[in-house]
Structure 1
Amino acid sequence: MNDAPILILDSGVGGLTVLREARVLMPDRRFVYVADDAGFPYGNWEEDALRDRLVALFGDLIVAHEPLACVIACNTASTLALNALRQSYPRMKFVGTVPAIKPAAERTRSGLVSVLATPGTVRRQYTQDLIDQWASRVSVKLVGSVALASLAERYMRGGFVDEQAVLAEIAPCFIEENGRRTDIVVLACTHYPFLVNRMRKMAPWPVDWLDPAEAIARQADRVVGDAGTRSMHGDFDPAVFTSGAPDYATQRIVRGFGLRTG
Protein backbone atom coordinates (compact mmCIF):
# COMPACT_ATOMS: atom_id res chain seq x y z
CA MET A 1 0.00 0.00 0.00
CA ASN A 2 1.36 3.39 -1.03
CA ASP A 3 0.66 5.81 1.82
CA ALA A 4 2.91 8.60 0.54
CA PRO A 5 1.80 12.01 1.81
CA ILE A 6 0.75 15.22 0.15
CA LEU A 7 3.23 17.94 1.04
CA ILE A 8 1.90 21.46 1.73
CA LEU A 9 4.36 24.34 2.03
CA ASP A 10 3.98 27.97 3.05
CA SER A 11 6.32 30.55 4.52
CA GLY A 12 4.48 30.31 7.84
CA VAL A 13 1.15 29.13 9.23
CA GLY A 14 -0.97 30.60 6.43
CA GLY A 15 -1.02 27.33 4.51
CA LEU A 16 -2.91 25.73 7.37
CA THR A 17 -6.04 27.20 5.77
CA VAL A 18 -5.32 24.97 2.75
CA LEU A 19 -4.54 21.94 4.92
CA ARG A 20 -7.88 22.37 6.69
CA GLU A 21 -9.80 22.25 3.39
CA ALA A 22 -7.65 19.42 2.02
CA ARG A 23 -8.48 17.26 5.02
CA VAL A 24 -12.19 17.80 4.42
CA LEU A 25 -11.88 16.71 0.79
CA MET A 26 -9.29 13.96 1.37
CA PRO A 27 -9.84 12.50 4.85
CA ASP A 28 -8.01 9.31 3.87
CA ARG A 29 -4.78 11.08 2.94
CA ARG A 30 -1.59 11.68 4.85
CA PHE A 31 -0.07 15.16 4.82
CA VAL A 32 3.23 16.81 5.64
CA TYR A 33 3.02 20.50 6.46
CA VAL A 34 6.17 22.56 5.89
CA ALA A 35 6.55 26.09 7.25
CA ASP A 36 9.58 27.83 5.80
CA ASP A 37 9.69 30.11 8.81
CA ALA A 38 13.44 30.60 8.39
CA GLY A 39 12.58 32.43 5.17
CA PHE A 40 9.50 34.32 6.40
CA PRO A 41 8.33 36.71 5.08
CA TYR A 42 8.86 35.88 1.42
CA GLY A 43 7.93 39.41 0.41
CA ASN A 44 11.26 40.71 1.72
CA TRP A 45 13.35 38.53 -0.62
CA GLU A 46 14.92 39.40 -3.93
CA GLU A 47 13.18 37.33 -6.59
CA ASP A 48 16.17 35.35 -7.84
CA ALA A 49 17.30 34.52 -4.32
CA LEU A 50 13.85 33.34 -3.26
CA ARG A 51 13.42 31.25 -6.40
CA ASP A 52 16.77 29.56 -5.78
CA ARG A 53 15.84 28.95 -2.14
CA LEU A 54 12.53 27.32 -3.07
CA VAL A 55 14.05 25.07 -5.72
CA ALA A 56 16.73 23.86 -3.30
CA LEU A 57 14.27 23.47 -0.41
CA PHE A 58 11.83 21.40 -2.43
CA GLY A 59 14.67 19.20 -3.61
CA ASP A 60 15.46 18.32 0.01
CA LEU A 61 11.79 17.88 0.93
CA ILE A 62 11.05 15.59 -1.99
CA VAL A 63 13.95 13.32 -1.03
CA ALA A 64 12.99 13.33 2.65
CA HIS A 65 9.24 12.72 2.33
CA GLU A 66 8.68 11.20 -1.16
CA PRO A 67 5.30 12.94 -1.52
CA LEU A 68 2.58 12.12 -4.03
CA ALA A 69 2.32 15.84 -4.80
CA CYS A 70 3.54 19.18 -3.51
CA VAL A 71 1.13 22.03 -2.81
CA ILE A 72 2.64 25.52 -2.76
CA ALA A 73 0.15 27.19 -0.43
CA CYS A 74 1.56 30.66 -1.07
CA ASN A 75 0.77 33.12 -3.86
CA THR A 76 4.18 34.79 -3.68
CA ALA A 77 6.09 31.52 -4.00
CA SER A 78 3.77 30.13 -6.69
CA THR A 79 3.78 33.13 -8.99
CA LEU A 80 7.57 33.33 -8.69
CA ALA A 81 8.82 29.74 -8.64
CA LEU A 82 6.16 27.31 -9.90
CA ASN A 83 7.59 27.05 -13.42
CA ALA A 84 11.13 26.64 -12.11
CA LEU A 85 10.02 23.88 -9.74
CA ARG A 86 8.24 21.97 -12.50
CA GLN A 87 11.30 22.24 -14.69
CA SER A 88 13.65 21.14 -11.89
CA TYR A 89 11.49 18.20 -10.74
CA PRO A 90 9.52 17.06 -13.79
CA ARG A 91 8.37 13.81 -12.14
CA MET A 92 6.74 15.61 -9.23
CA LYS A 93 3.21 16.98 -9.36
CA PHE A 94 3.01 20.59 -8.16
CA VAL A 95 -0.14 22.49 -7.26
CA GLY A 96 0.27 26.25 -7.12
CA THR A 97 -1.72 29.08 -5.60
CA VAL A 98 -2.73 31.99 -7.80
CA PRO A 99 -5.04 34.94 -7.12
CA ALA A 100 -8.71 34.01 -7.66
CA ILE A 101 -9.18 36.68 -10.30
CA LYS A 102 -11.25 34.57 -12.70
CA PRO A 103 -14.00 33.65 -10.20
CA ALA A 104 -14.02 37.21 -8.87
CA ALA A 105 -14.58 38.59 -12.37
CA GLU A 106 -17.40 36.08 -12.91
CA ARG A 107 -19.16 36.90 -9.62
CA THR A 108 -18.88 40.68 -9.35
CA ARG A 109 -22.05 42.69 -9.86
CA SER A 110 -20.58 46.16 -9.52
CA GLY A 111 -17.62 45.48 -11.80
CA LEU A 112 -15.21 46.67 -9.08
CA VAL A 113 -12.89 43.97 -7.72
CA SER A 114 -9.88 44.32 -5.45
CA VAL A 115 -7.03 41.86 -5.06
CA LEU A 116 -5.42 41.98 -1.62
CA ALA A 117 -1.97 40.44 -1.82
CA THR A 118 1.65 40.76 -0.83
CA PRO A 119 3.67 43.37 -2.75
CA GLY A 120 5.50 40.57 -4.56
CA THR A 121 2.28 39.06 -5.91
CA VAL A 122 0.98 42.49 -6.91
CA ARG A 123 4.03 43.41 -8.99
CA ARG A 124 4.43 40.03 -10.67
CA GLN A 125 3.64 39.77 -14.38
CA TYR A 126 1.82 36.50 -13.65
CA THR A 127 -0.86 38.46 -11.79
CA GLN A 128 -1.26 41.01 -14.57
CA ASP A 129 -1.57 38.20 -17.10
CA LEU A 130 -4.46 36.72 -15.07
CA ILE A 131 -6.21 40.08 -15.13
CA ASP A 132 -5.67 40.47 -18.88
CA GLN A 133 -6.96 36.95 -19.54
CA TRP A 134 -9.95 36.74 -17.20
CA ALA A 135 -10.92 40.21 -16.00
CA SER A 136 -10.61 42.54 -18.97
CA ARG A 137 -14.25 43.66 -18.60
CA VAL A 138 -14.05 44.60 -14.93
CA SER A 139 -11.96 47.06 -12.94
CA VAL A 140 -9.34 45.30 -10.80
CA LYS A 141 -7.55 47.19 -8.04
CA LEU A 142 -4.29 45.56 -6.90
CA VAL A 143 -3.51 46.26 -3.25
CA GLY A 144 -0.11 45.24 -1.92
CA SER A 145 -0.10 44.80 1.85
CA VAL A 146 3.26 44.93 3.57
CA ALA A 147 2.06 44.03 7.06
CA LEU A 148 -1.04 41.83 6.81
CA ALA A 149 0.72 38.44 6.68
CA SER A 150 2.73 39.31 9.77
CA LEU A 151 -0.42 40.54 11.52
CA ALA A 152 -2.05 37.18 10.76
CA GLU A 153 0.95 35.29 12.15
CA ARG A 154 0.86 37.33 15.36
CA TYR A 155 -2.89 36.86 15.66
CA MET A 156 -2.58 33.08 15.32
CA ARG A 157 0.11 32.96 17.97
CA GLY A 158 -1.33 35.42 20.47
CA GLY A 159 -5.05 35.68 19.73
CA PHE A 160 -4.89 39.47 19.44
CA VAL A 161 -4.57 41.85 16.53
CA ASP A 162 -4.64 45.64 16.24
CA GLU A 163 -7.89 46.18 14.35
CA GLN A 164 -6.87 49.67 13.26
CA ALA A 165 -3.75 48.18 11.70
CA VAL A 166 -5.94 45.70 9.82
CA LEU A 167 -8.17 48.54 8.63
CA ALA A 168 -5.16 50.48 7.36
CA GLU A 169 -4.12 47.48 5.24
CA ILE A 170 -7.56 46.76 3.75
CA ALA A 171 -8.81 50.34 3.30
CA PRO A 172 -7.32 50.78 -0.23
CA CYS A 173 -9.45 47.83 -1.40
CA PHE A 174 -12.67 49.81 -1.05
CA ILE A 175 -13.42 51.95 -4.08
CA GLU A 176 -16.50 54.06 -4.86
CA GLU A 177 -16.88 55.05 -8.49
CA ASN A 178 -19.89 56.47 -10.35
CA GLY A 179 -22.34 55.12 -7.80
CA ARG A 180 -20.70 51.71 -7.72
CA ARG A 181 -18.73 50.10 -4.90
CA THR A 182 -16.19 47.32 -4.65
CA ASP A 183 -18.15 44.13 -3.98
CA ILE A 184 -15.42 41.44 -4.03
CA VAL A 185 -12.01 41.35 -2.39
CA VAL A 186 -9.76 38.49 -3.44
CA LEU A 187 -7.63 37.22 -0.56
CA ALA A 188 -4.45 36.51 -2.54
CA CYS A 189 -2.42 35.25 0.40
CA THR A 190 -3.20 32.12 2.40
CA HIS A 191 -2.48 33.97 5.66
CA TYR A 192 -5.30 36.45 5.14
CA PRO A 193 -8.32 34.18 5.81
CA PHE A 194 -7.22 33.92 9.44
CA LEU A 195 -8.06 37.63 9.75
CA VAL A 196 -11.22 37.66 7.66
CA ASN A 197 -13.54 38.13 10.64
CA ARG A 198 -11.58 41.22 11.66
CA MET A 199 -11.65 42.42 8.06
CA ARG A 200 -15.42 42.06 7.94
CA LYS A 201 -15.73 43.98 11.20
CA MET A 202 -13.54 46.87 10.05
CA ALA A 203 -14.69 47.07 6.42
CA PRO A 204 -16.57 50.25 5.44
CA TRP A 205 -19.25 48.13 3.71
CA PRO A 206 -19.93 44.39 3.18
CA VAL A 207 -18.05 42.60 0.41
CA ASP A 208 -17.49 39.00 -0.64
CA TRP A 209 -14.05 37.95 0.66
CA LEU A 210 -12.80 35.31 -1.77
CA ASP A 211 -10.78 32.64 0.08
CA PRO A 212 -8.67 30.46 -2.27
CA ALA A 213 -8.13 27.56 0.15
CA GLU A 214 -10.97 25.32 -1.03
CA ALA A 215 -10.07 25.74 -4.71
CA ILE A 216 -6.43 24.85 -3.98
CA ALA A 217 -7.50 21.74 -2.06
CA ARG A 218 -9.80 20.67 -4.90
CA GLN A 219 -7.00 21.02 -7.42
CA ALA A 220 -4.72 18.92 -5.20
CA ASP A 221 -7.42 16.25 -5.02
CA ARG A 222 -7.72 16.23 -8.81
CA VAL A 223 -3.96 16.05 -9.31
CA VAL A 224 -3.48 13.15 -6.90
CA GLY A 225 -6.49 11.24 -8.18
CA ASP A 226 -6.57 7.63 -7.04
CA ALA A 227 -2.84 7.38 -6.35
CA GLY A 228 -1.97 6.02 -2.91
CA THR A 229 -4.15 5.32 0.11
CA ARG A 230 -4.02 5.91 3.84
CA SER A 231 -4.62 3.51 6.68
CA MET A 232 -6.72 5.24 9.34
CA HIS A 233 -4.27 4.84 12.19
CA GLY A 234 -5.15 8.19 13.74
CA ASP A 235 -1.60 9.49 14.12
CA PHE A 236 -0.92 13.20 13.79
CA ASP A 237 0.68 14.28 10.53
CA PRO A 238 4.12 15.88 10.80
CA ALA A 239 4.82 19.60 10.68
CA VAL A 240 8.31 20.67 9.59
CA PHE A 241 9.75 24.10 10.39
CA THR A 242 12.83 25.14 8.50
CA SER A 243 14.04 27.16 11.49
CA GLY A 244 14.07 23.89 13.43
CA ALA A 245 12.75 25.63 16.53
CA PRO A 246 9.08 26.66 16.50
CA ASP A 247 8.02 28.46 19.66
CA TYR A 248 5.42 27.12 22.06
CA ALA A 249 2.58 29.19 20.59
CA THR A 250 3.32 27.85 17.11
CA GLN A 251 3.46 24.28 18.38
CA ARG A 252 0.05 24.82 19.99
CA ILE A 253 -1.35 26.12 16.70
CA VAL A 254 -0.18 23.17 14.63
CA ARG A 255 -1.42 20.66 17.21
CA GLY A 256 -4.83 22.28 16.80
CA PHE A 257 -4.63 21.36 13.13
CA GLY A 258 -3.77 17.73 13.86
CA LEU A 259 -0.03 18.14 13.31
CA ARG A 260 2.98 17.21 15.41
CA THR A 261 6.39 18.83 15.46
CA GLY A 262 9.73 17.20 16.13
Structure 2
Amino acid sequence: MTTTDEKPVLVFDSGIGGLTVLREARVLMPERRFVYVADDAAFPYGDWAEEPLRARIVSLFGVLLQRHQPEAVIIACNTAFTLAGAALRAAYPDMRFIGTVPAIKPAAERTRSGLITVLATPGTVKRAYTQDLIASFASRCAVHLVGSQGLARLAEAYIRGEAVDEAAVLAEVSPCFQEQDGAKTDIVVLACTHYPFLANLFRKLAPWPVDWLDPAEAIARQARRLVPWTEEATHPDAPDVAIFTSGRSDFSTRRLMQGFGLTMTPEIFEGQGMASVTKADIAG
Protein backbone atom coordinates (compact mmCIF):
# COMPACT_ATOMS: atom_id res chain seq x y z
CA MET A 1 0.00 0.00 0.00
CA THR A 2 1.28 3.48 -0.90
CA THR A 3 1.88 5.69 2.14
CA THR A 4 1.36 9.44 2.21
CA ASP A 5 5.11 10.05 2.11
CA GLU A 6 5.45 7.98 -1.06
CA LYS A 7 2.80 9.76 -3.08
CA PRO A 8 3.93 12.09 -5.87
CA VAL A 9 2.48 15.43 -6.88
CA LEU A 10 0.87 15.28 -10.31
CA VAL A 11 1.16 18.38 -12.54
CA PHE A 12 -1.28 18.47 -15.46
CA ASP A 13 -1.47 20.63 -18.56
CA SER A 14 -2.67 20.40 -22.14
CA GLY A 15 0.94 20.58 -23.32
CA ILE A 16 4.26 21.83 -22.01
CA GLY A 17 3.06 25.10 -20.49
CA GLY A 18 2.76 23.53 -17.06
CA LEU A 19 6.53 23.15 -16.93
CA THR A 20 6.62 26.78 -15.77
CA VAL A 21 4.59 25.73 -12.73
CA LEU A 22 6.55 22.52 -12.20
CA ARG A 23 9.75 24.55 -12.05
CA GLU A 24 8.40 26.69 -9.19
CA ALA A 25 6.77 23.75 -7.38
CA ARG A 26 10.05 21.87 -7.23
CA VAL A 27 11.70 24.81 -5.49
CA LEU A 28 9.05 24.84 -2.76
CA MET A 29 8.59 21.06 -2.50
CA PRO A 30 12.11 19.65 -2.91
CA GLU A 31 11.23 16.49 -1.00
CA ARG A 32 8.45 15.50 -3.38
CA ARG A 33 8.50 13.38 -6.53
CA PHE A 34 6.58 14.78 -9.50
CA VAL A 35 4.62 13.26 -12.36
CA TYR A 36 4.09 15.66 -15.25
CA VAL A 37 1.20 14.87 -17.61
CA ALA A 38 0.71 16.64 -20.94
CA ASP A 39 -2.59 15.91 -22.67
CA ASP A 40 -1.01 16.64 -26.01
CA ALA A 41 -3.34 14.20 -27.78
CA ALA A 42 -5.99 16.89 -27.30
CA PHE A 43 -3.76 19.98 -27.67
CA PRO A 44 -4.70 22.79 -28.03
CA TYR A 45 -7.66 22.85 -25.68
CA GLY A 46 -8.81 26.15 -27.19
CA ASP A 47 -10.06 24.27 -30.26
CA TRP A 48 -12.55 22.17 -28.30
CA ALA A 49 -16.22 22.66 -27.53
CA GLU A 50 -16.78 22.81 -23.77
CA GLU A 51 -18.77 19.66 -23.04
CA PRO A 52 -16.58 17.19 -24.96
CA LEU A 53 -13.45 18.69 -23.41
CA ARG A 54 -14.88 18.58 -19.88
CA ALA A 55 -15.85 14.94 -20.39
CA ARG A 56 -12.38 14.10 -21.68
CA ILE A 57 -10.58 15.76 -18.76
CA VAL A 58 -12.75 14.15 -16.08
CA SER A 59 -12.44 10.74 -17.74
CA LEU A 60 -8.68 11.08 -18.19
CA PHE A 61 -8.26 11.82 -14.49
CA GLY A 62 -10.08 8.62 -13.63
CA VAL A 63 -7.16 6.80 -15.25
CA LEU A 64 -4.39 9.09 -13.94
CA LEU A 65 -5.51 9.02 -10.30
CA GLN A 66 -5.85 5.25 -10.30
CA ARG A 67 -2.42 4.70 -11.81
CA HIS A 68 -0.36 7.27 -9.92
CA GLN A 69 -2.28 7.80 -6.65
CA PRO A 70 -0.92 11.33 -6.18
CA GLU A 71 -0.90 13.25 -2.96
CA ALA A 72 -2.27 16.25 -4.84
CA VAL A 73 -2.88 17.46 -8.38
CA ILE A 74 -1.84 20.82 -9.77
CA ILE A 75 -4.01 21.73 -12.76
CA ALA A 76 -1.44 23.97 -14.46
CA CYS A 77 -3.84 25.06 -17.18
CA ASN A 78 -6.34 27.92 -16.99
CA THR A 79 -8.60 26.39 -19.63
CA ALA A 80 -8.75 23.00 -17.95
CA PHE A 81 -9.39 24.31 -14.46
CA THR A 82 -11.89 27.05 -15.28
CA LEU A 83 -13.83 24.54 -17.38
CA ALA A 84 -13.51 21.29 -15.44
CA GLY A 85 -12.29 22.17 -11.94
CA ALA A 86 -15.71 21.89 -10.28
CA ALA A 87 -16.46 18.65 -12.15
CA LEU A 88 -13.12 17.14 -11.10
CA ARG A 89 -13.68 17.98 -7.44
CA ALA A 90 -17.19 16.52 -7.60
CA ALA A 91 -16.01 13.34 -9.33
CA TYR A 92 -12.95 12.82 -7.10
CA PRO A 93 -13.80 14.43 -3.74
CA ASP A 94 -10.91 12.78 -1.87
CA MET A 95 -8.24 14.38 -4.08
CA ARG A 96 -6.62 17.78 -3.52
CA PHE A 97 -6.85 19.82 -6.73
CA ILE A 98 -4.84 23.04 -6.92
CA GLY A 99 -6.19 25.14 -9.73
CA THR A 100 -4.92 27.79 -12.10
CA VAL A 101 -7.07 30.83 -12.73
CA PRO A 102 -6.29 34.18 -14.36
CA ALA A 103 -4.31 36.35 -11.91
CA ILE A 104 -6.87 39.14 -12.03
CA LYS A 105 -6.90 39.86 -8.29
CA PRO A 106 -3.14 40.57 -7.97
CA ALA A 107 -3.25 42.55 -11.22
CA ALA A 108 -6.00 44.78 -9.82
CA GLU A 109 -3.97 45.28 -6.64
CA ARG A 110 -0.82 46.29 -8.54
CA THR A 111 -2.07 48.41 -11.41
CA ARG A 112 -1.45 52.12 -11.31
CA SER A 113 -3.16 53.10 -14.53
CA GLY A 114 -6.28 51.02 -13.91
CA LEU A 115 -5.93 49.43 -17.36
CA ILE A 116 -5.37 45.67 -17.24
CA THR A 117 -5.26 43.13 -20.03
CA VAL A 118 -5.90 39.41 -19.61
CA LEU A 119 -4.09 37.48 -22.35
CA ALA A 120 -5.62 34.01 -22.50
CA THR A 121 -7.01 31.32 -24.76
CA PRO A 122 -10.41 32.01 -26.36
CA GLY A 123 -12.04 29.50 -24.01
CA THR A 124 -10.72 31.19 -20.86
CA VAL A 125 -11.74 34.62 -22.15
CA LYS A 126 -15.37 33.65 -22.73
CA ARG A 127 -15.80 31.58 -19.57
CA ALA A 128 -18.11 32.83 -16.81
CA TYR A 129 -15.38 32.00 -14.28
CA THR A 130 -13.21 34.78 -15.73
CA GLN A 131 -16.08 37.27 -15.69
CA ASP A 132 -16.75 36.42 -12.05
CA LEU A 133 -13.12 37.11 -11.15
CA ILE A 134 -13.32 40.51 -12.82
CA ALA A 135 -16.56 41.37 -11.03
CA SER A 136 -15.19 40.23 -7.67
CA PHE A 137 -11.69 41.71 -7.75
CA ALA A 138 -11.32 44.25 -10.56
CA SER A 139 -14.61 46.11 -10.76
CA ARG A 140 -12.78 49.45 -10.48
CA CYS A 141 -10.42 48.63 -13.32
CA ALA A 142 -10.83 48.58 -17.07
CA VAL A 143 -10.12 44.94 -17.92
CA HIS A 144 -9.46 44.12 -21.56
CA LEU A 145 -9.74 40.46 -22.55
CA VAL A 146 -7.61 39.14 -25.40
CA GLY A 147 -8.24 35.59 -26.60
CA SER A 148 -5.28 34.33 -28.60
CA GLN A 149 -5.86 31.58 -31.13
CA GLY A 150 -2.24 30.76 -31.90
CA LEU A 151 -0.01 31.81 -29.03
CA ALA A 152 0.03 28.46 -27.21
CA ARG A 153 1.20 26.73 -30.39
CA LEU A 154 3.89 29.39 -30.89
CA ALA A 155 5.07 28.92 -27.30
CA GLU A 156 5.31 25.15 -27.76
CA ALA A 157 7.45 25.64 -30.87
CA TYR A 158 9.61 28.29 -29.22
CA ILE A 159 10.48 26.28 -26.13
CA ARG A 160 11.44 23.34 -28.35
CA GLY A 161 13.98 25.56 -30.09
CA GLU A 162 12.06 26.04 -33.31
CA ALA A 163 12.15 29.37 -35.14
CA VAL A 164 9.16 31.58 -34.32
CA ASP A 165 7.98 34.44 -36.53
CA GLU A 166 8.14 37.59 -34.39
CA ALA A 167 5.49 39.22 -36.57
CA ALA A 168 3.10 36.38 -35.71
CA VAL A 169 3.76 36.86 -31.99
CA LEU A 170 3.31 40.62 -32.29
CA ALA A 171 -0.03 40.14 -34.03
CA GLU A 172 -1.22 38.08 -31.08
CA VAL A 173 -0.11 40.48 -28.33
CA SER A 174 -0.72 43.88 -29.98
CA PRO A 175 -4.38 44.01 -28.82
CA CYS A 176 -3.11 43.83 -25.22
CA PHE A 177 -1.94 47.43 -25.33
CA GLN A 178 -4.73 49.90 -24.73
CA GLU A 179 -4.83 53.66 -24.20
CA GLN A 180 -7.71 55.42 -22.50
CA ASP A 181 -7.99 59.04 -21.34
CA GLY A 182 -4.23 59.42 -21.35
CA ALA A 183 -3.63 56.18 -19.41
CA LYS A 184 -1.99 53.07 -20.81
CA THR A 185 -2.16 49.38 -20.01
CA ASP A 186 0.45 48.67 -17.34
CA ILE A 187 -0.23 44.99 -16.51
CA VAL A 188 -0.84 42.02 -18.80
CA VAL A 189 -2.04 38.87 -17.04
CA LEU A 190 -0.56 35.77 -18.67
CA ALA A 191 -3.62 33.57 -18.30
CA CYS A 192 -2.11 30.53 -20.00
CA THR A 193 0.88 28.72 -18.54
CA HIS A 194 2.42 28.44 -22.01
CA TYR A 195 2.82 32.17 -22.36
CA PRO A 196 5.63 32.83 -19.85
CA PHE A 197 7.98 30.91 -22.16
CA LEU A 198 7.59 33.84 -24.57
CA ALA A 199 7.94 36.57 -21.94
CA ASN A 200 11.31 37.83 -23.16
CA LEU A 201 9.97 38.07 -26.69
CA PHE A 202 6.88 39.88 -25.41
CA ARG A 203 9.11 42.46 -23.69
CA LYS A 204 11.11 42.95 -26.86
CA LEU A 205 8.02 43.51 -29.01
CA ALA A 206 5.95 45.58 -26.56
CA PRO A 207 5.27 49.21 -27.59
CA TRP A 208 5.82 50.26 -23.97
CA PRO A 209 6.93 48.50 -20.76
CA VAL A 210 4.28 46.56 -18.85
CA ASP A 211 4.29 44.02 -16.03
CA TRP A 212 3.75 40.58 -17.56
CA LEU A 213 2.11 38.76 -14.66
CA ASP A 214 3.14 35.09 -14.45
CA PRO A 215 1.02 33.09 -11.96
CA ALA A 216 3.40 30.10 -11.66
CA GLU A 217 4.95 31.08 -8.32
CA ALA A 218 1.57 31.80 -6.71
CA ILE A 219 0.25 28.41 -7.88
CA ALA A 220 3.29 26.68 -6.41
CA ARG A 221 2.88 28.50 -3.09
CA GLN A 222 -0.73 27.35 -2.86
CA ALA A 223 0.34 23.79 -3.60
CA ARG A 224 2.96 23.94 -0.85
CA ARG A 225 0.31 25.07 1.62
CA LEU A 226 -1.88 22.08 0.77
CA VAL A 227 0.73 19.34 0.33
CA PRO A 228 2.05 17.87 3.59
CA TRP A 229 5.77 18.32 4.22
CA THR A 230 7.75 15.11 4.52
CA GLU A 231 11.03 14.78 6.40
CA GLU A 232 12.63 12.62 3.74
CA ALA A 233 12.50 12.70 -0.03
CA THR A 234 9.78 10.52 -1.53
CA HIS A 235 11.35 7.75 -3.61
CA PRO A 236 14.78 9.48 -3.62
CA ASP A 237 16.10 7.16 -6.32
CA ALA A 238 13.05 7.42 -8.57
CA PRO A 239 13.07 10.07 -11.30
CA ASP A 240 10.39 12.62 -11.94
CA VAL A 241 8.53 11.44 -15.02
CA ALA A 242 6.75 13.03 -17.96
CA ILE A 243 3.78 11.40 -19.67
CA PHE A 244 2.33 12.52 -23.00
CA THR A 245 -1.14 11.20 -23.75
CA SER A 246 -0.36 10.98 -27.48
CA GLY A 247 2.59 8.70 -26.81
CA ARG A 248 4.79 11.31 -28.46
CA SER A 249 8.50 10.70 -28.08
CA ASP A 250 10.30 12.75 -30.73
CA PHE A 251 13.81 14.01 -30.20
CA SER A 252 12.94 17.64 -29.42
CA THR A 253 10.37 16.60 -26.81
CA ARG A 254 12.75 14.14 -25.13
CA ARG A 255 15.49 16.76 -25.06
CA LEU A 256 13.14 19.33 -23.55
CA MET A 257 11.96 16.93 -20.85
CA GLN A 258 15.55 15.99 -20.04
CA GLY A 259 16.33 19.68 -19.66
CA PHE A 260 13.63 19.88 -17.00
CA GLY A 261 14.94 16.75 -15.27
CA LEU A 262 12.07 14.55 -16.43
CA THR A 263 12.20 11.01 -17.76
CA MET A 264 9.62 10.28 -20.43
CA THR A 265 7.57 7.16 -19.82
CA PRO A 266 4.98 5.64 -22.16
CA GLU A 267 1.42 5.05 -21.03
CA ILE A 268 -1.65 3.89 -22.95
CA PHE A 269 -4.85 5.88 -22.46
CA GLU A 270 -7.33 5.15 -25.22
CA GLY A 271 -9.49 2.18 -24.32
CA GLN A 272 -8.48 2.36 -20.65
CA GLY A 273 -11.85 3.35 -19.26
CA MET A 274 -11.75 6.84 -20.77
CA ALA A 275 -14.77 8.38 -22.39
CA SER A 276 -14.70 7.96 -26.15
CA VAL A 277 -14.03 11.65 -26.69
CA THR A 278 -11.49 12.66 -29.31
CA LYS A 279 -10.62 15.70 -31.39
CA ALA A 280 -13.26 14.52 -33.84
CA ASP A 281 -15.75 15.91 -31.31
CA ILE A 282 -14.42 19.45 -31.71
CA ALA A 283 -17.19 21.85 -32.58
CA GLY A 284 -15.80 25.12 -33.95
Pairing partner for 1:217 from 210, 215, 220: 220
Q: Secondary structure at the match of 2:6?
A: coil
Distance 1:257 1:10, change over 3 A: same
Contact 1:28 1:231 in 2 (8 A): yes
CA deviations 1:222-249 (Å, max 9, x no partner) are 1113368524735430101101123110
Q: Secondary structure at the match of 1:64?
A: helix
**Aligned-residue offset at 1:250:** 0.8
Q: Secondary structure at the match of 2:246?
A: coil
Pairing partner for 1:24 from 24, 27, 49: 27
Normalising to structure 1: TM-score of the pair? 0.97
Q: Secondary structure at the match of 2:74?
A: strand
What does 1:177-256 align with in structure 2 at a 5 Å threshold? 177-226=180-229, 229-231=232-234, 233=236, 235-256=238-259
**Aligned-residue offset at 1:159:** 3.9
Distance 1:247 1:59, change over 3 A: same
Q: How many residues of Structure 1 are paired with residues of Structure 2 in the alignment?
A: 262
Give the equivalent residue in structure 1 for 2:159.
156
Q: Secondary structure at the match of 1:92?
A: coil
CA RMSD of aligned residues (A): 1.3
**Identity %, equivalent residues:** 66
Contact 1:6 1:68 in 2 (8 A): yes
Give the equivalent residue in structure 1 for 2:282.
none
Give the equivalent residue in structure 2 for 1:54.
57
Contact 1:99 1:186 in 2 (8 A): yes
Give the equivalent residue in structure 2 for 1:119.
122
Give the equivalent residue in structure 1 for 2:89.
86
Q: How far apart are the structure 1 equivalents of 2:45 and 2:230?
A: 32
CA deviations 1:98-147 (Å, max 9, x no partner) are 00000000000000000000000000000000000000001000000000
Of 225-234 and 209-218, deviating more is: 225-234
Pairing partner for 2:14 from 11, 32, 39: 11
**Aligned-residue offset at 1:161:** 1.4
Q: How far apart are the structure 1 equivalents of 2:112 and 2:161?
A: 37
Contact 1:34 1:241 in 2 (8 A): yes
Q: How far apart are the structure 2 equivalents of 1:186 and 1:85?
A: 25
- The answer for unaligned runs of 5 or more in structure 1 is none
Q: How far apart are the structure 2 equivalents of 1:84 and 1:18?
A: 22
Contact 2:73 2:95 in 1 (8 A): yes
CA deviations 1:29-51 (Å, max 9, x no partner) are 11000000101000111100000
